[in-house]
């Protein structure tokens, strides 16, 4: 690397750039004193610390960046943003633009959505006439013909459970010598959990 006396300062670089942009021959770099070469420590700390740069640097930046350059950059940025939504017709062969497929589901077929869908599903259905609590010794004393008292009265509705969940209440009937349950109340929503 060249020694410090051969280094060029920021002002000299800007002069060379201006001369090159104008098309004229570059001006010879003036010899700068050793203290004007580069930035001193205070200027570097000011730039890194976010404080305003020294006046000489701010003036040099305004000379380097012209309004035409800024307008050109803004125009290129606007063109780039506008090209995002435009279809690309001039792609190389074998390249297709990326597109996401539609993930919306098809409407349910009302003809097929019948009870036939759950025809072979097995459910555990229980009818509960009532409940009671008994000591083990009382259970061991039960014999044929023993009477067990339940917590419901005669004529109270029975509970219908499907897979352990209360879904309805009904009344017990006898039809052709068989016991039946006629559903009188369907349990839905919050009452099912109770």
CATH topology of domain 120-193: Surface presentation of antigens (SPOA) (2.30.330)
Q: Is the pLDDT assigned to residue 74 strictly greater than 70?
A: yes
**165-175 vs 125-128, strand pairing mode:** unpaired
Mean pLDDT for 28-45 is 60
pLDDT digits over 76-132, tens only?
888 888 777 666 667 777 777 777 777 777 666 666 566 677 778 888 989 988 889
Alpha carbons 107 and 129: distance in angstroms, whole number: 43
Alpha carbon distances (Å) from 7 to 13, 29, 31: 10, 10, 9
Give the pLDDT of residue 51.
54
Mean pLDDT for 31-42 is 58
Instruction: Spell out the domain ranges in the chain.
Output: 4-85, 120-193
Alpha carbons 185 and 194: distance in angstroms, whole number: 15
pTM of the predicted model, to two decimals?
A: 0.36
Q: Is the pLDDT assigned to residue 2 strictly greater than 50?
A: no
Count helices and strands in the chain by DSSP H and E runs: 6, 4
Q: Token match 């435009």: residue?
A: 86
Q: Token match 């009671």: residue?
A: 132
With CA atoms as reference, report the closest residue to 54 among 66, 65, 44, 68. 44
């Amino acid at each position: 690397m060249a020694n410090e006396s051969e280094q060029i300062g920021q002002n000299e670089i800007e002069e060379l750039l201006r001369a090159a942009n104008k098309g004229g021959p570059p001006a010879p770099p003036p010899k700068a004193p050793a203290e004007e070469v580069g930035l001193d420590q205070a200027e570097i700390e000011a730039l890194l610390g976010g404080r305003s740069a020294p006046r000489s640097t701010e003036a040099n930046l305004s000379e380097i960046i012209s309004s035409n350059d800024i307008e050109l950059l803004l125009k290129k940025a606007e063109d780039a943003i506008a090209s995002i939504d435009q279809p690309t017709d001039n792609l190389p062969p074998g390249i297709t633009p990326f597109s996401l497929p539609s993930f919306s589901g098809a409407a349910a077929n009302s003809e097929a959505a019948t009870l036939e869908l759950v025809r072979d599903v097995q459910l555990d259905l229980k009818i509960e006439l009532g409940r009671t609590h008994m000591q083990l010794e009382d259970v061991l004393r039960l014999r044929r013909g023993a009477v067990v008292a339940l917590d419901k009265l005669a004529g109270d509705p029975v509970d219908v459970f499907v897979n352990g969940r209360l879904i309805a209440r009904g009344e017990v009937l006898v039809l052709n010598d068989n016991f039946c349950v006629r559903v009188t109340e369907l349990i839905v929503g919050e009452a099912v959990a109770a």
